[in-house]
Amino acid sequence: MAVTDTWLRAQLGREHPRTFTKADRDGLAARVSPKGKITWQVRYRHQGRQHRLDVGTYPLTTLKRARELAGEIREKLEQGVDPKVARELERNAKQGMPTVEALIRDWHNRYCSRHKKGAGQILRTFELHVFPELGWLPADQVDTDRWMKLMEALAEHSPAIAERALINAKQALKWGVRLGKVPANPLGHIGAQTDLRLKKRSVSRVLDDEELALIWEALQRSRIMPKNRLFVQLCLLYGCRSGELRLSDIKDWDMKAGVWTVPAENHKTGEKSGKALVRPIIEPARGWVEEAICLTSAKAGPLFRNRGSRERMGRSSVLPLPYNLMQWARRHRGVEMDHWSMHDLRRTMRTRIADLAPPHVAEIMLGHVLPGQWRVYDHYDYLAEQREAYQAWWERLEGIVSARHG
């Protein structure tokens, strides 16, 4: 007579004079200990030898599930596979499953650090916000719900960090699936806007004349470090990405030819185009660059360095510059400026030169890719046109500053 749930409940936890078993079907049997512990066992024959395999304990493994496991064992036997060997292989594979932290660090070392900008910041985001919560868990055991609870908590106080963590966690898990490190990507169908309700950040901040003049005054009168002052001035003049300037070396500034070259690996569009950016060095920029070179006390290497070091200026050194200038404006001029970032200087420059240069020249000045067939056939560097536009922009800046402080 087959095992029933009624019989199982009657035997569970009861004292018995000895160990005994009750057969079910397909080789399945319930083994009952003297203390009333019930263990599921499957008996089978493989290559002429009798075997017995434990498949769980009741009630954690139900009668229905035990019968399913017995059926799976029979299927393996029909395929010529020893179920005991198959289970050992599965166990070993499970033990080799990477933790969340191990998987993400492997992805970062083998992919992210080679192919993504800001790889260091990405890893730091995981170290601060993901690893303390999930890093120790096997990557295949963290389901969508657990990931989402972490991301939702992050989104409440720091939407930008939550978005960065989500985007890169999805990529790391997708990479892990492709390499067979994890069976599935639990974040594959999750979107920052649709599921975390993260809104796109505003990209419309353009500084007006009063703000530009105030920033310039703060640059000249505050206690800002000279290298930081020069950095902000060059960013505002060129409208360049701060990373392009931060990564520049002294050799990239050809003072004799009057050209600043941004290698392809140092600008956003260079990865696809493989082309360097070239910009003219107009007179004000020449003086600032020469001063920056003097501050480095070196003839080669990074143009901008960390204080008291020969190491390149870090991204973390750039982020607080706008805040420090806004603090000066608050304390010394009583002006509460709306928040602005270094990238807003780039947007401001592009907006202000709209009437000073043709659109295609303005886009080249910013290092943007020209549209359509234009970029395929037009390989002219427009250095002369850029020089004229940069000079006109500098004269406009001088006029804005003198109008306030003249």
The CA distance from 167 to 175, in Å, is 13
Q: Give the relative orientation of helices 119-129 and 159-178 as an angle to the nearest 10 degrees.
A: 100
Per-residue pLDDT of 343-374, as tens digits, reads 999 999 999 999 999 999 999 999 988 877 77
Residue 3 in contact with residue 22, Cβ under 8 Å? Answer: yes
What are the strands of the beta sheet with 28-32, ordered from one edge?
20-23, 28-32, 38-46, 49-58
Domains of the chain in start order, with CATH, are 5-95 (3.30.160.390), 100-178 (1.10.150.130), 209-405 (1.10.443.10)
Residue with tokens 């096997």: 138
Cα separation, 39 vs 83, whole angstroms: 18
- pLDDT tens, the chain, 406 aa long: 788 999 999 989 899 999 999 999 889 999 999 999 999 999 988 878 888 889 889 989 999 999 998 888 888 888 887 887 777 656 655 556 788 999 999 999 999 988 887 788 899 999 999 999 898 888 888 889 899 999 888 888 888 888 889 999 999 999 999 998 888 899 888 877 677 676 555 567 899 999 999 999 999 999 999 999 999 999 999 999 999 999 999 999 999 999 999 999 988 888 777 889 999 999 999 999 999 999 988 889 999 998 777 889 888 788 889 999 999 999 999 999 988 989 999 999 999 999 999 999 999 999 988 877 776 666 788 999 999 999 999 999 999 998 876 5
Look up the pTM and report it.
0.58
